Amino acid sequence: TALASLTRLAGLTALASLTRLAGLTALASLTGLARLATVTRIAGLARLTRLAAVARIAGLARLTRLAAVARITGLAGLTRLAAVARITGLTALHRIAGLTTLHRIAGLTTLHRIAGLTALHRITRLTTAHRIAGLATLHRIARLTTAH
């Protein structure tokens, strides 16, 4: 049976050895991870891919850091990024792709900086992205060569 909900993980505050979150095509939200304050303890997480049904990541309101994520791809169903105050430490991230339905990055009233994207060189398929509210700077993304 396909995993469709993370609600049983509602008390989770840290993860020790998750290396991949991929192919969960029935998973509709990440709201069961609301208490996860940081993802620094998912030191080996390299891929967040093929989560086609995830439409919102608002359940990660306390998230401040992703330590070793290198790829975020195939989230074709994602339409909203909300309630994340600050995201830092994405030094390994080099590709964001497949966000074809993303049309709003909102609810980020305290987000003023996305820093440390030193390895990012490609952002593709943000075909309907048209609004980034409250973002003042994109800092240290010198290697970015493609954004379309």
DSSP3 helix / strand / coil % (the chain, rounded to 5)? 5, 20, 75
Q: How far is it between the farthest Cα atoms of the chain?
A: 44
Supply the DSSP string of 97-122, one letter for each residue.
Answer: ---TT--EE-S-TT--EE---TT--E
Residue 40 is predicted with a pLDDT of 39
Residue 43 is predicted with a pLDDT of 41
Residue 141 is predicted with a pLDDT of 67
What tens digit of pLDDT does each residue of 83-112 get? 455 565 666 667 776 666 666 665 555 556
Ranges of residues in the chain with a pLDDT under 70 are 1-2, 12-24, 27-93, 97-117, 125-142, 144-148
Residue 122 is predicted with a pLDDT of 74
Sign, CA dihedral 25-82-42-29, equals negative
| Segments making up each domain of the chain, as ranges | 9-148
Residue 11 is predicted with a pLDDT of 73
Residue 130 is predicted with a pLDDT of 62
Residue 8 is predicted with a pLDDT of 76
Residue 34 is predicted with a pLDDT of 61
